Amino acid sequence: MQLTPEINFLSIVVVGNFNPIIITPQWLALKQLIRESESEDARIELIHPDITRFELDWFKFEAQHAKLEFTCTKESHFVSLKDLVLSIFAILKETPITAVGLNHTCHFSLRSVEEYINFGYWLSPVKQFSDVLKDPRLIQITFLETGNPSNEAGTLKVQILPSDVMTDRKSVMFVHNLHFDEGSLKKADWLINLIIQKWDESFDRVRKFNDKIWEIAQF
């Protein structure tokens, strides 16, 4: 059975050394990276030297000293999120960066609760613990790629767990984390080139994994 995602989210995580207070809605508008009205309507949760967190209509942003995270819950705006991240780091070009993650979350709806439970049984043989656990079920499972020949290709980690958006008890989400880490300090141009080069590929890898699971899954 082939399933296509009902909902897709994307987040770009940048690991390095940052000043959380720099990136604010006002700064983004000043640099013309977002509309002035978007800056005015931004929902600011925290702006503090240690952590900044705000949300616009089409993306959420969180900054700490060691990590920046941009999350987009509107598939229609994924490319705009990419443009935003590229532009920010074209401006902050001296920023030290150590790793980047392109994270895709895909939400799928199964046809029934029974299929949902059976999908968990197919993913993991939890039933073998029936004599020590009453009606054991799978809550989440993580697959980690360990055999990549080079860091350049990135490492894929996939978690499968109940959907936190479609809470109908028959939906699952696949959280794909494609992690790039060359093990040394880089500047922003590394990140820019990496995102430009790996953007389409990250979508392809996610689609291939999803297709494979639904092609072979048995309910």
Partner 1 sequence: MGNSTVLTNTTRSSNREGLNDSLALPQMKQQLINNVVARNLKYASFYSLNENSNSQKNNLNLPETEYFIHHFDIKFLNELIPSSRPKRYSRKTQSWKGIVTEVNEDSFSARLYDQTQNDTYEIGDFEIRVVSPEDKEYLKIGGIFYWSVGHFMENGTSINKSEIRFQRLILLTEEDINSAINESSTLFGQLKEGVIE
In the complex, least distance from residue 95 CB atom to partner 1, rounded to whole angstroms: 13
In the complex, least distance from residue 198 CB atom to partner 1, rounded to whole angstroms: 16
| Cβ nearer to partner 1, comparing 5 with 120 | 5
**Whole-angstrom Cα distance, residue 47 to residue 41?**
15
In the complex, least distance from residue 49 CB atom to partner 1, rounded to whole angstroms: 9
Phi, psi of 155 (to 5 degrees): -115, 130
Instruction: Name which of 107, 34, 32, 35 is nearest 75 in CA terms.
Output: 107
| Cβ nearer to partner 1, comparing 23 with 33 | 33
Give the burial class of 23: count Cβ atoms within 10 A of its Cβ; 0-12 exposed, 13-18 middle, 19 or more buried: buried
Structure tokens at 39: 């800056």
In the complex, least distance from residue 6 CB atom to partner 1, rounded to whole angstroms: 6
Interface with partner 1 by CB under 8 A: which residues?
Answer: 6-7, 9, 31-37, 44-48, 50-51, 57-58, 60, 62, 64, 73-77, 79-80, 83-84, 86-87, 90-91, 93, 164-165, 192
| Cβ nearer to partner 1, comparing 87 with 155 | 87
Q: Which whole-number Å values give the CA distances from 61 to 24, 52, 58, 133, 140, in the listed order?
A: 9, 8, 10, 41, 26
In the complex, least distance from residue 144 CB atom to partner 1, rounded to whole angstroms: 22
| Cβ nearer to partner 1, comparing 34 with 156 | 34
| Cβ nearer to partner 1, comparing 35 with 127 | 35
**Whole-angstrom Cα distance, residue 56 to residue 202?**
25
SS3 call for 10: strand
